[in-house]
Amino acid sequence: MISLLFETACKLRRLLLLSYLFFFLVQGLTAQKERVKNQPYADMKLFHLGFHIGLHTQDLILTNNGTTAPSGQTWFAEIPSYAPGFSVGVIGDMFVNPYLNLRLTPSIHFGDKQFVFKEYENNTEYTTSVRSNYITMPLELKYSSVRLNNYRPYLTGGVYGALDVGRKKGETLLLKSFDYGLSLGLGCDIYFSFFKLCPEIKFLFGLRDLIEKDRQDLIQPELSMYTDALSRGTSRMIVLTFNFE
């Protein structure tokens, strides 16, 4: 657990450095003469609502334990590629100060993950997919830079809980229904006459082991060797959304 937290902290530090570089880049590109500002008081509202739509990819960081099945085979799993999924949600935003907002963004993510199990000694391969429809509840702080005409870059960070409402028992692999973790995002508010458009990319780092080890639901008990091959699996998700506020 300590090594996992250390690994997550290192990745968060690298993402924070990238986020700061993004801030400086956007500020440099948008540095220009003062223009008429659309919605000059939009960010001063105590509460405001919005919605977002976008795409995402789901991943699991897998730890193989090298267990040998009763048949004598040793399987190793990986997720070799990512399939895009669809995301949609609502935004609740509360003003804290001119640079800080508190945000709650309930969302649902429709997607799946494809697992490939390989047995190198006999050069065999087994493929299965797991569909996961996550309802996530991120609670985040949004830190915004100084507004530059009709652009305002920002960073978000916080925690989230997730509920998988798409899992099906009896499949080769079964993931636990509840997850939690850390979120980090960056984006830019673009002000139009009647609304704000905010392209945003967000990274979700799950902290819970999602591999369900108790597989009494399996109709074919021999399939449990694929679950036994994994000692741990933690979720990762990259979400690209377009926020309308």
Pairing of strands 178-191, 47-64: unpaired
Residue type, 98: P
What's the confidence (pLDDT) of residue 14? 58
Q: What is the mean pLDDT of each run of 10 residues along the chain (245 residues)?
A: 46 51 51 68 91 96 80 83 93 96 97 90 86 95 94 97 91 93 97 94 96 88 86 95 96
Round to whole Å and give the CA distance between 111 and 113: 7
What's the confidence (pLDDT) of residue 1? 43
What's the confidence (pLDDT) of residue 22? 54
Question: What number of residues does the chain have?
Answer: 245
DSSP sequence for 120-154: TTTTEEEEEEEEEEEEEEEEEEEEE---BTTEEEE
- Please give the model's pTM, rounded to 2 decimal places: 0.81
What's the confidence (pLDDT) of residue 33? 53
Q: Are 142 and 101 in contact (CB under 8 A)?
A: yes
Pick the CATH number of 2-31+49-244 from 2.60.40, 1.10.1060, 2.40.160, 2.30.29: 2.40.160
